[in-house]
């Protein structure tokens, strides 16, 4: 009988090449992927070499990045397209041609598909498998951390443009990640530095912020919950809540894909039930709540609070928690992780620059302000 495996950890590295320490961490059977940041970037040749080196450690590692467009775009030079914000894509919705009501909406959807194709094609040409996009949060006008990363205040517009962008990702062979479930756009606090609290009722959230997840559950391949507490539903942030992840997202809304925790080092993840927790405790709580994968970001660098040792403490701590029976490996979670890996070969950069589909998509993008 084959033993069940599950590699839930998504880690990062400090530099632009792999060290022996990086290789050891990435080779660990509990590590399922790596997330890239701007500090890991020099140019396309370096990024391609880094990604190839990661795959030599383990071909099944999922190479991820936060690359949405606008201000959240890790790679901006050496040929990478400066992608529009989601708000800029949505602005096209209202630009109807004379005598053609609704044509602006179709133009916006076409541009969103083009954006997804360009985004995914350029990343994949350098060896990156996956981007945490699209943002499904609603733009209430109060959240600085979300702001123009959101398409619109209207969940219908958000859903249609997100689905269009996901279509473009799919055309380039990339999966998607809707975030931040059930919605981060209403609260002002930034969960990177604070613990946001949204005091609305479950009914209010489900009929507004969470609608894109209900309408897109057959198209979404993964979801990232918000480090936001919704006290009328659960006292824990959504990413640590069985109520949100199992009862609502999986059962009520029918979502079957992978669930990623957001970064466990964010302020919104440091307190659970009013108590400060270790990264291992946070990871175990997230996995037991219904996450398939957990991220720990920006703790590998020498200037991080634990000088890079937090990564090893999490890897070792999660292994020990497994041995104690504090969490159980899940073959279903592992299948969800591996389903996010690209199933088709990518065009290299030179071939991409001559690709008619890519060039057509470039021409459809709105100019970046």
How do residues 139-154 score in pLDDT, each as one tens digit?
Answer: 998 888 899 999 999 9
Q: Is 53 a member of any domain?
A: no
The C-alpha torsion from 74 through 76 and 78 to 80, rounded to 10°, is: 90
Cα–Cα nearest to 18, from 38, 1, 40, 44: 40
Would residue 55 count as lying in a domain?
no
Checking if the pLDDT of 2 tops 70, the result is no
Give mean pLDDT, residues 238-262: 97
Give the angle 178-118-293 at the CA atoms, nearest 5°: 30
pLDDT at 192: 83
Q: Mean pLDDT across the stretch 105-133?
A: 98
Alpha-carbon gap, residue 7 to 110, rounded angstroms: 36
Average pLDDT of span 347-360:
98
Return the SS3 of 101: coil
| Domain annotation covers residue 38 | no
Q: What is the rounded average pLDDT for all residues in the chain?
A: 95
Looking at residue 252, which CATH number applies to its domain?
A: 3.20.20.300
Neighbours of 57 (CB within 10 A): 16
- 169 to 9, 152, 249, 286: CA distances (angstroms): 24, 20, 23, 27
> 52 lies in a domain?
no
Q: Number of folded domains in the chain?
A: 1
| Residue 237, in any domain of the structure | yes
* Domain membership flag for residue 302: yes
> What is the structure's pLDDT at 238?
96
What pLDDT score was predicted for residue 115? Answer: 98
pLDDT tens digits along 314-337? 999 999 999 999 999 999 999 999
pLDDT over 60 (residue 36)? yes
CA 325 – CA 348 distance, rounded (Å)? 45
The DSSP bridge pattern shows strands 178-181 and 222-225 to be parallel
Report CA 247 to chain centroid distance, whole Å.
22
Instruction: Determine the Cα–Cα distance for residues 71 and 8; give it in Å rounded to an integer.
Output: 28
- Cα 149–chain centre separation: 13
pLDDT band of residue 45 (cuts 50, 70, 90) is very high
pLDDT bin (cut points 50, 70, 90) of residue 369 is low
Residue 1 has pLDDT above 60, yes or no: no
Instruction: Give the whole-angstrom CA distance, residue 204 versus residue 71.
Output: 30
pLDDT number for residue 267: 84
Residues recorded for the chain: 369
Model confidence at 105: pLDDT above 60: yes
51 inside domain: no
pLDDT in tens, 336-353: 999 999 999 999 999 999
Concatenated DSSP letters for 342-367?
-SSPPPPHHHHHT-HHHHHHHHHSPP
Give the whole-angstrom CA distance, residue 67 versus residue 131.
6
pLDDT in tens, 166-203: 999 999 999 999 999 999 999 987 778 788 999 999 99
Judge whether residue 229 has pLDDT over 70: yes
Residue-number span of the structural domain to which 244 is assigned: 17-31+60-364
Share of the chain above pLDDT 90, in %: 90
At residue 358, the pLDDT reads 98
E strands present in 216-319: 222-225, 229-230, 234-237, 258-259, 271-272, 275-276, 294-295
Would you please indicate which residues are annotated as catalytic (active-site) residues? 192, 262
40 in a structural domain: no
For residues 281-294, average pLDDT? 97
pLDDT band of residue 108 (cuts 50, 70, 90) is: very high
């Amino acid at each position: 009988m084959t033993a069940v495996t599950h590699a839930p950890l998504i880690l990062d590295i400090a530099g632009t090449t792999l060290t022996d320490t990086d290789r050891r961490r990435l080779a660990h059977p509990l590590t399922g992927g790596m997330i890239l940041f701007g500090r890991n970037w020099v140019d396309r040749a370096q990024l391609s070499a880094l990604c190839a080196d990661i795959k030599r450690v383990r071909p099944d590692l999922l190479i991820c990045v936060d690359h949405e467009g606008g201000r959240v775009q890790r790679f901006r030079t050496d040929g990478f397209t400066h992608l529009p914000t989601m708000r800029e894509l949505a602005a096209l919705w209202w630009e109807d041609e004379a005598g053609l009501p609704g044509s602006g909406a179709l133009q916006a959807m076409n541009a969103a598909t083009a954006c997804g194709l360009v985004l995914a094609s350029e990343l994949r040409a350098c060896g990156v498998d996956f981007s945490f996009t699209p943002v499904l949060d609603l733009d209430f006008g109060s959240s600085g951390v979300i702001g123009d990363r959101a398409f619109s205040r209207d969940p219908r517009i958000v859903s249609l443009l997100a689905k269009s962008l996901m279509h473009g990702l799919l055309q380039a062979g990339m999966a998607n990640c809707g975030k931040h479930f059930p919605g981060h756009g209403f609260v002002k606090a930034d969960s990177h530095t604070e613990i946001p609290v949204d005091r609305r009722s479950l009914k209010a959230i489900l009929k507004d912020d969470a609608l894109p997840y209900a309408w897109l559950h057959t198209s979404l391949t993964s979801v990232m919950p918000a480090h936001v507490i919704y006290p009328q539903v659960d006292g824990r942030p959504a990413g640590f809540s069985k109520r949100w992840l199992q009862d609502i997202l999986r059962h009520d809304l029918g979502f079957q894909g992978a669930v990623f925790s957001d970064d466990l080092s964010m302020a919104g993840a440091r307190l659970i039930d009013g108590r400060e927790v270790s990264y291992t405790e946070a990871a175990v709580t997230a996995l037991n709540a219904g996450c398939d994968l957990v991220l720990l970001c920006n703790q590998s660098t020498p200037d991080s609070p634990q000088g890079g040792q937090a990564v090893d403490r999490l890897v070792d701590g999660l292994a020990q928690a497994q041995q104690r029976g504090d969490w159980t490996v899940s073959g279903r979670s592992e299948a969800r992780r591996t389903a996010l890996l690209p199933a088709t070969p990518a065009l290299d950069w030179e071939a991409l620059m001559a690709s008619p589909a890519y060039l057509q998509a470039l021409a459809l993008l709105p100019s970046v302000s």
